[in-house]
Amino acid sequence: MQQNNIKNIDEGLNIKPDISKGDIKNIYEEANVFFNAGTTKRLDELEVFYEKLITNRKKRLLEQRNRLESEIHTKSEKSEHLQNEFNKLMQYLGEHQALDVFVNLSSKSAELKSERDSLKKYQDLQSEYKEKERNANKSLLNLSEITEKYLNEMEPNISGLRSYFRSLGKRFYPNSVSGLAIDVNDKDNQVLFDIEAKIESDTSDGINNVKIFCYDLTLLFQGHNHKMNFVFHDSRLFDGIDERQKAEIFRIAYEEFSNKNKQYIATVNQNQLSEIKSQFTDEELQKIITDNTVLTLTDESDTQKLLGIKVDIGEK
């Protein structure tokens, strides 16, 4: 910038008048116009004035030019001195391997700064997560209150479910306590209700299977918001149940499903049928079992199987 200022000053020093007093007089003489003494005097005074003006301007510009050149010289010397000092320091760092240490420290500093930024992002994310967790807990608490209120409002309906389940359970175990427990599930999961079907001393497979039978019928006949019109039980349901209780299952099924727009389907093995025959009169056996047998399957040939063919269900 200072070099540009000097260049502008040099251009200003070279500026001269485009026309002199003599040139003005020659122009007027050629036009046959002659100056009187007063006019000539005024021209002389103007010429002297402008010469002084130009002289003062040149003097001021020269002073500025000298000052700028002095500043440039001083700064050049200072810059050269600083460059020499820098070169000496770099040479010293190189000789003592301090430059490598500096580079390593700079790299470590950048690494630590990056780690700090990552930790800061993690802390921010953790704070955001905790805030969302608090809001979720509030929502869960509010949902638990709504669910509790809903259960209280539905108590008459729930009471009917309990009574039906209990009446079925008493058919099998008259001296055992049975019923349905429906409570709010306020744990961290997606289940709103804890529904437990209970028959006292239900540790054996037999009682547990009876409980399944009673629960399925309760849902079918007393439940709401479903369109199921049948229940299917595999022969495994009858495993572990004594003959009297097996027979009671079929008595209940006959009573509950007769003349109803619902269907009970069960697959029963031949040995299971043989076990319950002694629990029925001939009339009951005919009415409950024989008249309601719609398909008999054997292993005598493939045509006697469910699909009428042999199906190889092997692992690929």
Quick one: pLDDT at residue 229? 94
Is the pLDDT assigned to residue 13 strictly greater than 60? Answer: no
Quick one: pLDDT at residue 254? 96
Is the pLDDT assigned to residue 7 strictly greater than 60? Answer: yes
Higher-confidence residue of 84 and 252: namely 252
Confidence of residue 256 (pLDDT cuts 50, 70, 90): very high
Q: What is the largest CA-CA distance in the chain?
A: 167
Quick one: pLDDT at residue 79? 86
Average pLDDT over residues 18-37: 56
Quick one: pLDDT at residue 170? 93
- The DSSP 8-state label assigned to residue 240 in this structure reads T
Is the pLDDT assigned to residue 32 strictly greater than 90? Answer: no
Average pLDDT over residues 128-137: 86
Is the pLDDT assigned to residue 95 strictly greater than 90? Answer: no
Average pLDDT over residues 35-39: 59
Average pLDDT over residues 92-118: 80
Quick one: pLDDT at residue 12? 60
| Tokens, residue 5 | 């200022």
For the four alpha carbons of 236, 241, 247 and 252, in that order, the dihedral sign comes to negative
166 CB contacts (<8 Å, ≥6 apart)?
Answer: 178, 179
Query: Which of 45-49, 88-92, 241-245, 276-280 is least confident?
Result: 45-49
Please report, for residues 16, 22, 23, 64, the alpha-carbon distance to residue 53 in angstroms, rounded to integers and kept in the order given: 12, 19, 20, 17
Is the pLDDT assigned to residue 221 strictly greater than 80? Answer: yes
DSSP three-state, residue 182: strand
pLDDT digits (tens, 9 = 90+) for 159-218: 999 999 999 999 999 888 899 988 888 777 777 788 889 888 656 668 899 999 999 999
Q: How far apart are CA 271 and CA 77, in angstroms?
A: 116
pLDDT, averaged across the chain: 82
- The DSSP 8-state label assigned to residue 76 in this structure reads H
